[in-house]
Structure 1
Amino acid sequence: MKSVTVQQLVDRFSLEVLTGETGLDRMIPKARVHRPGLEFVGYFDFFSHAHVQVLGSKEITYLHTLSEEERNLRIGNIVKYHPPCFVVTRNLEGLKYLKKYCEEEGIALLRTSEPTNRFTELLDAYLSKALAPEIAIHGVCVNVSGIGILLRGQSGVGKSETAHTLIRRGHRLVADDVVVLKKISPETILATHNEINKEFLALRSIGLVNVSRLYGRKAFQDETRIVLDIELSKWQENALNNELEKEQQYSSYMDVKIPRIEIQLQPGRDVAGLVEAAANNWYLQRQGYSAVEDFMKRIENQI
């Protein structure tokens, strides 16, 4: 199971370590943060103790209103579950009682100057990606006019060359050869590189090129949501019919269905242009427009 350490959280968000340094190597196994408001009033039926606990103005102000005895009881009831860490937002002060319990239990007490809502959004986004299930596949990933596309096919079919043409037309490379797919929700697959192949594109007869150095920073994008899976295949006579609209096919990655189409290659065929057309057509369909329906209406009007 994937996990993130508390130390990685400190480094990523430049958090101040108030106490509990011995707990910095603890693992954070769950995405999304938790604000322990209900737990401070004694309700623990749904306590998300494996999540990062974030304390904002509401929680800290409430604790300040309690007597020392009551406050110690409330904090002690939470600390005994040993959550990965506590993060106090807005650089809030008066945390002596929190420091005492966290130090005793070896739980890191951290602090940030960020407002609570903004920090929880940033941390949720980071943990969702860092802890997401992932697989690596062979292919190329590009972002075409804001639309994430996987290009797949047999080795040597022309995936990287197609990506290069798309980059020359102003689109962006995400990953070449090895594409890392992350499932960040039941409906969403995020694609990225594996760090080693970041910005690199392998072109037959040319070799390895750095697209950012060749075409500028706009030629590369760190990650993208995948919405189309395009398989490039060798041309086969009579394999494709000129139907007005083919039945939609799908690929499945970690149980997430992605619309799939096949583009056959032939000398002189503008494959990059067809990829652009597929991306733009997908966008129009999401907006509720169907070229086939529009075409059929025109025929009906003529009749």
Structure 2
Amino acid sequence: MKILTVENLVRKFSLKILAGENQLQQTITQSRSHRPGLEFVGHFDFFPTERVQILGRKEITYLHKLSIEERKIRIGNIVKYHPPCFIVTAGQEGLTYLTQYCLEEGIPLLCTLEPQTTSEFIMKLDAYMVKKLAPEVAVHGVCINVYGMGILLRGKSGIGKSEIAHTMIGRGHRLVADDIVVLKKLSPRTILATHDGKTKEFLALRSVGLLNVVRLYGRKAFQDETRIALDIELTKWQKDSLHNELDHESRFTEYMDVRIPHIEIQLQPGRDVAGLIEAAANNWLLKQEGYSAAEEFMRRLESDVSL
């Protein structure tokens, strides 16, 4: 089970600790933050108590305007649920009373130091937590970024995945991961691919050895993560087994219940596999724009028949 703590947020976003320094190991289980606006006025029917609570200019201004007694009630109604932490944004001041309540309840109270709006901070925070808490699996393969889209290359050991990735780098594309590809489910439609940390920037080539692609080819040769758009399986050449692309239906591979378009590329000496991968990537991009070469071809055939 993956663990995200308040301390991780402090380090990632350089947050100042106003209270609860000894409670930074509290765990965060929800990948979205929350602004307790309705809760301050007494509505708790849908209060997500397990989320990080964000207090921006609106919330703090409201609290400042309350009487001491009313403020005690409003804040007390929220801190009693013990959320993982409170983060104050937008450079708010006069937080002594809030600090005291958090100290009493053992809740970390943090504040941002960088000049940014509450909305900007929430966007960055939620994106970070979604990635950190996303379900993930590790698969054997190679991941490359081609024309801005992620492609997962799979196949039996020794089939040539890394060698093809090296050729793709030479054509201006980027390596994301070699051998072990970590897939993270960010949403019901989105799979993010990255490396496992240990293999970052490394590419293993048989007969050559381990290469650091950044040292060899520069920063442009590597990308830390990418959204997977295509799953390509590399297989040995089998005579008379290639599909007619006009006849067979689209195929998919599922990772954590997310369907990824799948194609098979058979390998044969002299075949331009890198060029085929580029063609597959461009064809996928055209399909996202609503164009299908096969459908247009069929329309032309039907038009000729009708004449």
TM bracket, shorter-chain basis: over 0.9
Match of 2:204 in 1: 202
Post-superposition, which runs of at least 4 consecutive aligned residues in structure 1 deviate over 6 A? none
The alpha-carbon deviation at position 298 of structure 1 amounts to 3.2
Q: Which residue of 2 aligns with 1:128?
A: 130
Taking the aligned partners of 1:14 and 1:243, their CA distance within structure 2 comes to 53
Report the CA distance between 1:177 and its aligned residue. 0.2
Q: Give the match for residue 268 of structure 2.
A: 266
With normalisation by structure 1, the TM-score equals 0.98
Q: Which one-letter code corresponds to 1:24 in the other structure?
A: L
- Evaluate the alpha carbon distance shift between residue 176 and residue 48 of structure 1 in structure 2; reply closer, same or farther with a 3 A threshold: same
What aligned pairs does 1:17-166 form with structure 2 within 5 A after superposition? Answer: 17-113=17-113, 114-166=116-168
SS in 2 for 1:180: strand
Counterpart CA distance in 2 for 1:245 and 1:212 is 42
- How many residues matched? 303
In structure 2, distance between residues paired with 1:168 and 1:178: 21
CA positional deviation for 1:86: 0.4
1:5–1:24 contact (8 Å) kept in structure 2: yes
Structure-1 separation of matches of 2:208 and 2:247: 38
Match of 1:247 among 243, 246, 249: 249
Letter matched to residue 145 of structure 2: N
Match in the other structure for 1:211: 213
SS of residue matched to 1:227: strand
- 1:221 maps to 223
CA shift digits 1:242-301 (9 cap, x unpaired): 342531111110010111000000000001110111000000011011111222333345
SS at match of 1:284: helix
Of 289-298 and 17-26, more deviation after overlay is shown by 289-298
Q: Distance in 1 between matches of 2:143 and 2:84?
A: 35
Return the alpha-carbon distance in structure 1 between the equivalents of residues 159 and 83 of structure 2. 51
Contact 1:33-1:120 at 8 Å conserved across structures: yes
1:110 is paired with a residue of what secondary structure? strand
SS in 2 for 1:225: strand
- CA distance, structure 1, for counterparts of residue 2 and residue 38 of structure 2: 28
Contact 1:166 / 1:172 at 8 angstroms: preserved in 2? yes
Render the CA deviation track for 1:57-116: whole Å, top value 9, x for unaligned: 110011111110110111111101110000000110011111001111111110114310
Instruction: State the Cα deviation string for residues 131-181 of structure 1 (Å, max 9, x = none).
Output: 000010100000000111000000000100111110000000000000000
Task: State the TM-score, normalized to the length of structure 2.
Answer: 0.96
Q: Structure 2 unaligned runs (5+)?
A: none
**Whole-angstrom distance in 1 between the partners of 2:294 and 2:93:** 63
| Counterpart among 279, 286, 290 of residue 277 in structure 1 | 279
Runs of 5+ in structure 1 lacking a partner? none
C-alpha contact (below 8 Å) 1:22/1:107 kept by paired residues: no
